[in-house]
Amino acid sequence: MAPAPQRPRHRRMLTLTVRAGERVSPHFRSITLGGDDVRHLERYGYDQSGRLFFADPGNDDVVLPTSERWMLQRTLLSGRRRPRVRSYSIRRFRPETSAFDIEISLHERDGPDAPGTAWALAAEPGDQVAFLDEGYSYRPTAGAGWQLLVGDESALPAILAILEDCADALPAEVFLEVPADDDIRRDVTAPPGTTIHWLPRGVDADSPTKPGSLALRAVRNARLPEGSFYTWVAGEAALAAGVRRYLVGERGVPRSDITFRGYWRHGRAAL
């Protein structure tokens, strides 16, 4: 069995305001969310994430949820009054200003819709959102001598937060796929002995590479360090499942040493 995710002990629906937005690199926008309600957010760190509720740009009719029973509240609303909901990781806490940052990957849209990306591009100070903590899943196994962290761009915020939060702990081999060279981060804080393999896809309209496939191939071809290790992998569903299948099937890694999370599915919108 994979380690169980850590659900928040106490949580409530937070009403927050966009404080700032900043383009971090060509395919990432960082958004700072803040407000008094941040005091109710338990700080776990690692890949802690939550559901973000928001309105499409220009839609003032949306009713944001006010309770953890958001599903019911949302079902009772229709059309323009129904909020959008997408999951995002907490990239950085800013307790001194009652705020935290999320980082949203601005991905290509193969259909007309990708409300999370559209919201991230348009978000500006003063916009209201709601946020519900979902806890975290990074649970290194006892006895691991190092860790393998794998993801595509949707998992970049979580992986960078994990590396920062366990800076004194296990050295990591990191395989991180990003859309382009300019999305590579140069200033990463990580445990000593960590190696980050950045895998930019680049833009090639004639033979577009499916997100996640570079990272999966790189892990399969990697010479990994000796000794027992913990794996955390997230991103496109085929990447997460593929890494796990490879490690278990071809390298004999116990399932219990792997946390894998399908964050999104190619060709399918969330919710």
Ligand X SMILES: Cc1cc2nc3c(=O)[nH]c(=O)nc-3n(C[C@H](O)[C@H](O)[C@H](O)COP(=O)(O)OP(=O)(O)OC[C@H]3O[C@@H](n4cnc5c(N)ncnc54)[C@H](O)[C@@H]3O)c2cc1C
In the complex, the residues that contact ligand X under the rule CB under 6 A are 49, 86-89, 102-105, 107, 109-110, 113-117, 153-154, 157, 211, 263-270
Strand 84-89 and strand 49-54: pairing?
antiparallel
Give the shortest CB-82-to-ligand X separation in angstroms: 14
The token duo for 155 is 């998992």
Q: Toward ligand X, which CB reaches closer, 19 or 86?
A: 86
Give the shortest CB-33-to-ligand X separation in angstroms: 12
Q: Which stretches within the chain are classed as H helix?
A: 70-75, 115-122, 156-165, 213-221, 237-251
- Classified as helix, coil or strand, 225 is coil
Phi-psi region of 108 (alpha: psi -120 to 50; beta: other; left: phi over 0): beta
- Classified as helix, coil or strand, 192 is coil
Give the shortest CB-211-to-ligand X separation in angstroms: 5
Give the shortest CB-144-to-ligand X separation in angstroms: 22
Give the shortest CB-143-to-ligand X separation in angstroms: 27
Task: Compute how many other C-beta atoms are within 10 angstroms of the C-beta atom of residue 94.
Answer: 14
Q: What angle do CA 139, 169, 45 make, to 5 degrees?
A: 50
Give the shortest CB-236-to-ligand X separation in angstroms: 7
Phi-psi region of 99 (alpha: psi -120 to 50; beta: other; left: phi over 0): beta
Q: Toward ligand X, which CB reaches closer, 13 or 239?
A: 239
Q: What angle do CA 245, 266, 236 make, to 5 degrees?
A: 45
DSSP 223: -
Which sign, positive or negative, has the C-alpha torsion 143, 148, 153, 156? positive
Q: Toward ligand X, which CB reaches closer, 59 or 224?
A: 59
Q: Toward ligand X, which CB reaches closer, 113 or 181?
A: 113
Our measurement of the distance from residue 210's CA atom to the centroid of its chain's CA atoms, rounded to an integer in Å, reads: 18
Q: Toward ligand X, which CB reaches closer, 34 or 157?
A: 157
DSSP 141: P
Q: Toward ligand X, which CB reaches closer, 68 or 113?
A: 113
Give the shortest CB-110-to-ligand X separation in angstroms: 5
Q: Toward ligand X, which CB reaches closer, 12 or 92?
A: 92
- Contact 85/69 with Cβ under 8 angstroms? no
- Contact 29/104 with Cβ under 8 angstroms? yes
Give the shortest CB-31-to-ligand X separation in angstroms: 10
Q: Toward ligand X, which CB reaches closer, 87 or 141?
A: 87
